[in-house]
Structures are given as C-alpha cells and as structure tokens.
Amino acid sequence: MSTVAGETETKGQIKLRFKTAAAKDVVCIRSFQLTQKASKMEFKAIESKVCLSYRCADMDREIPALMGVSKAILENVIFVHQDEANWPLQDPSTLKKKFDDIFSATRYTKALEVLKKLHKDQNQEIKTYKLKLENLQTLKDAAYKLREGIAHDQSRTESLKSQIQEFETSIQDVDAKIHHAEVTLKDLRKLQDQISTKTAERSTLFKEQQKQYAALEEENEDTDEELKEWKTKFEEKVAELESKISKLERELTDQETKSSFLRKTTDDCFKEISKLQTEAEVNLSLKNERDSAIRNIFTSHNLGPLPSSPFSNDDALSFTKRIILRLPDLEKDLQDKKKSNEIELKTAWDRYMVANDQWTTADVQRQAKVDLKSGLRKRIEDKENERNSLELQISNVDISHINEREKNMRTEMERKKNLIAERDFESNITQKQTELYSIEQKIKALTQEKDIMVGDSDERVKLSLKKSELESQKRKHRKMAVTMEFDDLKNKSHEAEQEVKMLQTKIQEDNNNISKLRKDMESRKRYIESKIKALDRQYSTIDSYLKALETAKEKRDVQKSKYNIADGMRQMFDPFERVARAHHVCPCCERSFSAEEEDEFVKKQRVKASTSAEHMKVLAVESSNADSLFQQLDKLRLAYEEYIKMGKETIPNAERELKKHSEELDQKSQALDDLLAVLAQIKSEKDSIDVLVQPIEAADRLFQEIQACQKQVDDLEYKLSFGGQGVKSLEDIQSELNTLQITKDSLHNELEKLRDDQRYMEKDMSNIKDRLHALCAEKVQADNVFRDVRKAEEELERLVEEKSQVELDEKYLKETIGPLSREKDKLLNEYNELKAKLNLEYEEQSKQKMSYAQEVDSIQKVAFKIKEFHDLKKGEKLKELQEKLSFSELELQKCEAKKQHILSELERNRDVIRSRDKLRRNIEDNLNYRKTKAEVDELTREIESLEANVLRVGGISTFESELVKLSRERERLLSELNRCRGTMSVYESNISKNKVDLKHSQYKDIDKRYFDQLIQLKTSEMANKDLDRYYNALDKALMRFHTLKMEEINKIIRELWQQTFLCRPVLASLIIRLALAETFCLNCGILALDEPTTNLDGPNAESLATALLKIMEDRRGQENFQLIVITHDERFAQLIGQRQHAEKYYRVTKDD
C-alpha cells in the first residue's frame, strides 16, 4: 500500500506503568514514527522516556535498575521475544554465554582476573623490592663497616700522634747531644788536621833543608844582607849578556827562515823542471808515434807517398786531414753493403714464404679432410646405432596382429553399446525412487504416531532421565580417578614438547648456520673465481687457483731472472768500454786492439747500451706486471684457505651436529607422540565424563546420589515391567516401522545396485574406448618407426659415399704435401746460409771501418796532445825555471855562511853566562837553605802549640764512640717515628678513602632508604596477602553463590518438571525461565510469554495451557510471581483461565 491509514506519516506511542522495587510508580513511554518514502517505508524511534515524579533519564540504562534486576535477566528471563523463547535449548556455547550474563559471571570473572593479575604483578614487585632490599642491606652493611673503620682508624691515629710527639721530643734531645759532640769532634779534627798539615809541611821542609845542605858546594858564613847585595850586582851583568844572546838568537832565526824559503824555492824549481822535461820527452815520443801511425795508415790504405821522418807539424796536420777524409768513404761502402745484403735476403725469404704458403694451404686442406672424415665416421656410427635401434623396435611389432586387435575392439564396443540400451537403467532407477519415496512417507507417519505415544509415557521419560542422571553421576565419580593420571601425563607431555621445541630450535639454528656457511662459501667461491678470471682469463674456476698461483709465481721468477740478466749485461757495457779505452785490449779475451778495432768495439758497446735501456724498460714492466699478478693471486690465498676449510671442516662438522640433533629430535618426537597418544586417550575419557573437575570431597555425596538414583531407576523399571499398553502398542508401531525400514533398505540397495551396474558398464565402455585409442596410437607409432628406418638407411648410404670421396681427397693432398715440404725446407736452408754468409761479410767490412776510425781517432788524440804542448809554451818555461834555480842556489850558500858566524858568537856568550851562573847558584843556594831552616823551626813551634790544645780538650776516639752511640739511638728513634708516621698515614688514607666512599651516591641516606624499602616491602607483602585472601574469598563466594543458585534452580526445575512433565520444548523452556525468575527476580517476579502457541497445533496448545494452569496453581501463594501472556489465540487464553486468574486483560485489534 502507498499510505498508512491514508496518511504519508503515522506516529505511535507505547506506555508501560509499573512499580519499582522501592514501591514508586514509574511510567515508560516509547514513541515511534513511520514515514512513507517514494519506494519504501522508513521506521524511526522518536524518543524514549522514563517519567518519575521528579526527573527523566535514559530508558535502557534505568529500567533494569528500577526493576531491581540485571539487563540479562530482563532480556532472557522476564521479557523474551517469541523467536527466542526456546533459548534454553540452544547450542552449549550460546547457552553458556547467556547463563554467564544471567549469573553476572563475566563481571566477577574479570574481577578475579584483575585480582589475580594484581597479585601476580604485586609478586613481581615484591621480588623486585626484595632484590632492592638485599642490595640496600649490602650497602648498609658496607656503610656500617666503613663508619666502624673510620672510627677505629681515628682512635688509632690519635694514639699514634701522641707517640710521635714523644719520639720527636726524644729525637730533639739526642740531636742536641749529637750536635754538641759533632762540633767538639769537628774542632778536634780541625786541630788534628792542622797538626797533620804542619807536620807534613815541616817534614817536607826538613827534607828540602837536608837536600839543600847536601847540595851546597860551600857554606857561606856571611850574613843574609851581604849575600843579597852580591846577588843584586851579579844580576845586572847577567842581564846584559842575556840581552846580547837574545839579539843573536833573533838574527839566527831570520837567517834560518830565509834559508828555508830559498830551499823550498829550489825544490819547487826542481820539481817543475823535472815535470817539464818529462812532458818534453813524452811530446817527442808522441811525434814519433804520430809519424809512425800516419805512415802505417798511408801504407795499408794506399793514401799516397810520404816524406822521410820526422814530419813537421804542418805536414802531419795535412796528412791527418787526408786520413779523416777517407773515413766517410768507408762508411758509405758499409751502408751500400748493408742495403745489398738486405735486398738479397728479402728475395730469398720471399721465395721461401711462397713455398711455405703453398705447403700450409695444402696441410690445412688435408687436416680439414681428416676432421671431416672423423666427423663422417662418427655420424655413420650414430646412424647405424639409430638404424639398429629402430630395427630392434620393428622386430617387436606385428602389424597384422595390431589390425586384428583393432577389429576385435570395435566389435566389442558395439556389443557394449547394445547391452546398455537393452538394460534401460534410467527408467528402472526412476521407478525404484518412486517406491522408496512412498515407503519413507509411511515411515514418517508411523514415527509421528510413535512420538505421540512417547509423549504420553511420562514414566518412561522419567526413567530415561533418571538413567541419564545416574550415568552423569557415574561419569563425575569416574573423572575424579582419571584426573590425577591425566595431569601427570599432561606434565610429561609438556616437558617432552619443550624438549622437542628446544631440539627443533637447535636444528633450525644448525640449518641456518649451515645455510649461512654455504652462502659464505659460495660468496668466497664467486669472489675468488671473479678475481682469478679478472687476473688471468686462462683460469676461471676455483679449482684452478693453485695452478694459476704456481704459474704466476713461475712467470714472475722467469721475468725477474730475465731482468736481472739484462741488468747485469747493461752494467758491463760501461766497464767494458773503459777497459778497452784504458788498456786497448778486449775485456773478454784480452786481445790487443788497433785504433780502428777499439773505436768499433766502443761504438758497438754504446749501441748495445742504448738499445738495452729500452729492453730493460720492457723487462721491468713485464716483471712488475708478473709480480703484481702474483701478489694479487697470493692475496687470495687466505680466502681460498678459508673456502677449503669451510668445505672440509666447518660445514661437515655442522652437518654432523645437525644429524645428531635430528636423531635426538626423532627420539624425542617418538616419545612425545607416545605420550600424546596416551594423553589423548585419557583426555577423551576425562572429557566424556565432564567438562568441569569436581572437588575430591564431593565423591561421597556423588556416591550416595548414585545409590539413590539407582534405587529410583530400579523402582521405575519394576513398575513399568507390569504396566499395560493401549490397543496399538508401542511395540506394534515399532514392528511396523522395522518392516517398512527393511523394505526401504531393500529398495535402497536395489537402487544402488542398478546405479553400480550402470557405472560399471559405462566404465567398461570407457576402458574399451581407451584401449582402442591406445591400439591406434601403437599402429601409428609402428608406421613412424618403419618410415624412420627407411630414412636412416638412405642417410647412411649418403654418408658412406661422402666418406669415400673425402678419403680420395685426403690421399691426393698427402701426395701433394711431400714435395712442397721438401721444397720449403730447401729454400729455408738456402736463406739461412745466405744470411750467415752476408752477415759475416758485413761484419768484416764493419770491423775494417771501425778499425780505421779508431786509428783516425788515435792520430787525432796524439795531434791534440802535441798541439797542446806547443800552445802552452812549456819549452820556454823550462829555460826560465833553470835560470831561477841557479840564482836560488847562490843565495842559499850566502845564508848558510852568515848563519854559521852567528852561531859561533852565540856559543861564546852562552859559555860566559854558564861560568857566572855557578857563582849565582851558590849564593842562591845558601839563601834558600837559611830560609828553609827558619821555616822548619817555626812549624815545630806551631805543632807543639796545637798538640797542647788537643790535650786540653780531650781525645777524638772518646767523642767518636759517644757520637756513634748517640747516632744509633737517634736512628732507632727515627725508625720508630717513621713506623708510627707510616702507620698513621695508612690510617689517614683509609679514613679519607672510607669518607670518600661514604660520600658516594649509593651510600647517601642509606639507613633511611633501607628503612623506607623495608616498610614498602612489608606493606606490599601484607597487601599481597590481603589480595590473595580477597581472591580466595571472592572465588569461594562465587563458587558458593553459583552452587546455591544452581541447586535452587535445579530444585525448582525438578519440582515443576515432575508436576507438569509433557515433553514439550516450549514448556521445558518455560520451566527453566520460571526457575531462573524465582531464583534471581526477588524484586521483580514477572514472567512474560510472547505468542507461546505460534508453532503449536491444537492438542499441543491445550497441553501447554494445562501445564501453565498447574504452574499457576502451584505458585498462587507467591507474591513475586506474575505471569504476562501475549497471545492471539483466544482458545488458549480461555484454557489458562482467562477469568479465574486475571482481574483485567487488554484486547488489541487492528482495523480492516
């Protein structure tokens, strides 16, 4: 319809008035709106209100609280929609959830979980607090020990300070005594030293006095003044003579200096003259040598006539120029000879190369024919093998037999098709299905009749329930005995599972390790192979590394050897040249060189030296490259050794470990499987008994209940054994059902047999088709084999012909190669002989040219030396030096005569001085003797005075012994003092260290921290114990609450079931809801039935009404029982007592 009651928008309102648990009136109002849209209707809840005397609140939150029940009870017990009226008979998981909501189990379970979690967390915190307290206890003890150590060390320090003061006072007294003794001893030693000094001085002077007295020639008796006056006058005369002697000595020195200079000049002149005379003689010999050389060259090379020797310088210069002009002509002849030799050699080599190319071409063609013949032979062998194989296949094939089998298969296939058409399986199967359906309808009718009879058999149902209850009690009792074994096996299974997991972890680690090692090994292999390939293309695999390394080493050694040999040869070129130049002989055989030979040898050495430098660079580069290659390969040795070690040691060890762990895992897994099998068996027995584990103390109660139930079951069985049946008993119905079931089974078997026959025949048909197809394929394959045999034979004939042709060509080429080879070898020998001959001629001509050049060079050198001698004017210098030598020798003779005169005068004056000296010495000796004697007397008096002073003070030994005694005492006191100071310093350092340790942050407020931590630990432990008590109390209270509630619910259900048993799901659900309502709805005893007869027929609805009447009669006296029935069945309303039990009721209708 397009509108509701002719309106596009309709609004409605529902009101509910009730009294709360506190006896207050409450009105609940719900408003709705229905709006007609273009294509659909839109339903909307406008508002929901709870109207109290003073306020409005949210309905969904307030209604359960006002009614005094929970939302779960309100939705699942009091007000239940008709579609969910049978929720107590739903699946276990849904039922458990609803009962948890009704019992508010989830909220309390969560509270228990929170308490348990708090208890666990608190336990963890208590462990932490204990660890902290133990740590603080340790720190506290350490701090106490530090404080005790500080106090003890301080008391010991004070005691040591007093001892140190006493020792210091004693040491000061001893020091004063030692100082006094040392001062006195010092004075005595000073006096003793003075005595010793004076004594030694006197002894020395006395000895001197005796010596002077013995040395006196005569002892003079004059006074000291008279002797001094004689000495003064004598000195004046001696001074005059000494002045004259000094003057003569100076003149003598001047003459000696002049004589030395003249002698040196004379020697220099002698040396210079000897040198110039030698050079003049050499110059003369050089001129003779030059003339001889010029004459020899002119004679040997026919350069013309020469005048008689000796030549003048101008003539020699002219002849030398003629000789030098001849040298370019010789050089030109040598170059012409070289070019003609090269042309002649090139012609001979070209002839050889033509012959060699012809021989090479023929040999290559012959080798190609040989390779082709080998390939043809191999192909012929392959074709023969292929033909033999195909012939073997053909020998096993019979075409006529295959054709006969094909014909039989086709005949059999036609026969099967006709047989399937005759059986007509489809119509027979349809007929059997129709008969089977009619039998099933009869069985259904009888089953319904049987159910009606069973519904009337209250006693039998009670018997069934009692038996079920008995079996339940037995299972509970049996489970208590099984639980212990199950828990033990479960623990063992858990331990075995842990061991298996641990071994699996080890195996996984071993696998990961092996995989990692293999990857590492493979990466090292790739790295080494890439390096080897980059360094040497000849080697590319890791197995060739050692070979590559050995090859690189040999190559490096060879290159180094070549370089060293070349370097040694290069170093010999310059010494060879110097030896040849210096000694004019060959450095190797010591043969004498002519000038031309020497020049040629030197030139050859220089050419070799210049070319060897480039050769040395090439060898150095090659040696460096070889050494670099070896070094790079040698650097890979460590990686290669690690790779080998991984392959031979590390990975096999890891695999052995993995195998060991795998064997252990198999053993543990087998043991775990055995345990799990036993555990599964025990668990199945345990689960079959019950889901929950009952306490041990309930065993007696269960046993008593089992006995009571057994007695009731026996009574019911006895009672039923004498009960009568109706006109058509349950056994008759069951017999008819059995007969129909047998007929049904027979029809079903026949139907299945028809279907099996159909499947078998269709399968045979399919097999025949498959065999026919296989036979056709075999025939086609045989034809293909015959064709392949013919093709192979044709190919074999072609290859044999081709092989014969190749053999003929090979024979012809062999006959051609022989003459060509002999011709090639002949031309090569001719070329080598010609080359040796021409090289010999060229070398002889080159030696002649070099010899001539050396002779020219020698003449030039001699001419240069002669010219140098004349240019320096060494002859004139010789004459000047000879004149200078004569003058110097004359002057030297004059100086020697004057020097002899001065010496004679000087000797005479010295004799005069020596005679006067004797008198002077006598006077001086007397004066010295008298002076020494006076000093000895003076020292004797001083010594006697000092000895008197020493006797007055005392002996030195007395003071020394006293000083030693005092020193020992002082050392003892100092030792004691130092010991006390050392001990005190140790105590003070300990005090400082302990104070520093006490100032550390870990000892700060340690007593307070320890006390606070102790309080925290104790309070936490007490709180945790309280939590444990709360958890146990709440758990026991919940268990007690659930037990009491379940007992109450079961009791109510038992009573109602015994009174109103009709075996109806609706009534059973109603009884359960009533039990729940009476148990939980103390303040709101309401039970609403929403369309209870919707799914019931007439008789069942009447039975439900009768049961409800019984329940209402039984609960009439209860104040908290109120039944609300919402139904459209007026007959049902009358049956439950429309007027007897309701003061008023509401009738709701809708407009047509």
Q: Give the pLDDT confidence score for residue 722 in this predicted structure.
A: 37
Task: State yes or no: pLDDT of 1046 exceeds 70.
Answer: yes
Q: How confident is the model at residue 1142 (pLDDT cuts 50, 70, 90)?
A: low
816-820, 867-871, 979-983: lowest mean pLDDT where? 867-871
Q: What is the tens place of the pLDDT at every residue in 227-269?
A: 666 566 666 656 666 777 777 777 777 777 777 777 777 777 7
Per-residue model confidence (pLDDT) at position 463: 55
Q: Residue 131 above 80 pLDDT?
A: yes
pLDDT at residue 691 greater than cutoff 50: no
The listed range with the strongest mean pLDDT (455-469, 697-711, 1097-1111, 1132-1146) is 1097-1111
Do residues 373 and 810 touch, judged by C-beta distance below 8 A? yes
pLDDT reading at 680 higher than 70 = no
pLDDT at 1029 over 60: yes
Dist. CA 195–CA 945, nearest whole Å: 9
**CA angle (370, 371, 375) in 5-degree steps:** 120
Q: pLDDT averaged over the chain?
A: 72
**Per-residue 3-state assignment (H helix, E strand, C coil) for 502-530:** HHHHHHHHHHHHHHHHHHHHHHHHHHHHH
Mean pLDDT within 925-938: 75
> Is residue 556 predicted with pLDDT exceeding 60?
yes
586 annotated ligand-binding residue: yes
DSSP 845-865: HHHHHHHHHHHHHHHHHHHHH
Res 775: pLDDT: 74
For 78, counting Cβ atoms within 10 Å of its Cβ (0-12 exposed, 13-18 middle, 19+ buried), the class is buried
307 phi, psi to nearest 5 deg? -75, 175
**What percent of the chain shows pLDDT beyond 90?**
0
Average pLDDT over residues 137-149: 86
Question: d(Cα 503, Cα 513) in Å, to the nearest integer?
Answer: 15
pTM of the model: 0.31
Residue 728 has pLDDT above 60, yes or no: no
- Is 709 annotated to bind a ligand? Reply is no
Burial class of residue 324 in the structure, from the number of CB atoms within 10 Å of its CB (0-12 exposed, 13-18 middle, 19+ buried): middle
What pLDDT sits at residue 723?
A: 38
- Maximum mean pLDDT: which of 237-241, 335-339, 910-914: 335-339
**Which of 433-437, 438-442, 668-672 bottoms out in mean pLDDT, i.e. has the lowest?**
668-672
Of residues 507 and 1023, more confidently modeled: 1023
Structure tokens given for 524:
């090292």
pLDDT tens-digit readout, 578-627: 677 667 777 777 777 776 777 777 777 767 766 766 676 677 777 777 77
Strand partners, 1122: 1086
Q: What percent of the chain has pLDDT over 70?
A: 66
**pLDDT for 716:** 55
pLDDT for 458 beyond 60: no
Nearest to 1145 by CA among 1121, 1119, 1127, 1118: 1127
Res. 54 pLDDT band, cuts 50 70 90:
very low
pLDDT tens string 740-750: 778 777 777 77
Distances (CA, A) of 694 to 476, 484, 486, 688: 7, 12, 14, 14
d(CA 158, CA 153): 9
Segment 1103-1130 shows an average pLDDT of 75
- Residue-level pLDDT at 164: 87
Joined tokens for residue 355: 């012959």
- Comparing 435-444, 793-802, 921-930, the range with the smallest average pLDDT is 921-930
Confidence of residue 179 (pLDDT cuts 50, 70, 90): confident
Least confident of 17-21, 31-35, 1049-1053: 17-21
Can the peptide bond before residue 310 be classed as cis, meaning omega within 30 degrees of 0?
yes
Task: Tell me what pLDDT residue 849 has.
Answer: 75
Q: What is the pLDDT of residues 1059-1085, one digit of tens each?
A: 655 556 667 777 777 777 777 766 566
Cβ atoms of residues 619 and 563 within 8 Å: yes
Three-state DSSP class for residue 35: strand
Q: Compute the distance between CA of residue 798 and CA of residue 731 in angstroms, rounded to an integer.
A: 98
How far is the C-alpha of 300 from the C-alpha of 303, rounded, in Å?
8
Hey, what are 764's tokens?
A: 């045979």
Given a cut of 60, is residue 896 above it in pLDDT?
Answer: yes
How far apart, in whole angstroms, are the C-alpha atoms of residue 796 and residue 802?
10
Q: Are 863 and 323 in contact (CB under 8 A)?
A: no
How far apart, in whole angstroms, are the C-alpha atoms of residue 248 and residue 887?
27
pLDDT tens digits, residue range 477-488? 555 555 655 666
Q: Which of 408-412, 550-554, 914-918 has the lowest mean pLDDT?
A: 914-918
